Amino acid sequence: MLISSPADIEKCNLEYPLFIKPVSEGTGKGITERNLLKSPAELKEIAEYLLVRFSQPALVEEYLPGREFTVGIIGSGDDAIAIGGMEIECRNNYPYSVESRRIMKSSAVYPDGKGICR
């Protein structure tokens, strides 16, 4: 669900726990341990904070525990090319964020699937 204004918060009917992040940021920007939401009160607090802090909508998703991957893409539309993928492992299963990059281990997988770089 996309939250573009405080009025959108009341429309959220997703099942908790939820995860929220700025919609147009990357590399964990705007993400801390507080982005994992367990209640409507937490959703309201963090959504309002993100709307003001980043001046953009916030993306809210039902939280899916498990492994974290990111894929680098260059270009757009029909010209987009995936240049590689990476698994991200953060200590204590914290969400990937700018802060957690100091305490993580990552592995890159090259597009041909043959190489792994640690």
How confident is residue 103, by pLDDT bands cut at 50, 70 and 90? Answer: very low
pTM above 0.85, yes or no: no
Q: Which amino acid is at 103?
A: I
Q: What is the pLDDT of residue 111?
A: 54
Q: Which two tokens stand for residue 100?
A: 């957690």
| Fold exhibited by the domain 2-62 | Dna Ligase; domain 1 (3.30.1490)
Q: Which residues partner with 109 through β-bridges?
A: 85, 116
How high does pLDDT run on average in the chain? 81
Nearest CA to 86 out of 76, 77, 78, 96 is that of 96
Q: Which two tokens stand for residue 6?
A: 């405080």
Residue 13 burial (C-beta neighbours within 10 Å; 0-12, 13-18, 19+) = exposed
Q: What is the pLDDT of residue 86?
A: 80
Q: Where are the domains of the chain?
A: 2-62, 68-117
Query: How far is it, in rounded angstroms, from Cα 15 to Cα 17?
Result: 6
What are 43-81's pLDDT values in tens digits? 999 999 999 999 999 999 999 887 778 788 899 999 999
Q: Which residues partner with 20 through β-bridges?
A: 60
User: Cα(first)–Cα(last) distance of the chain, in Å?
Assistant: 35
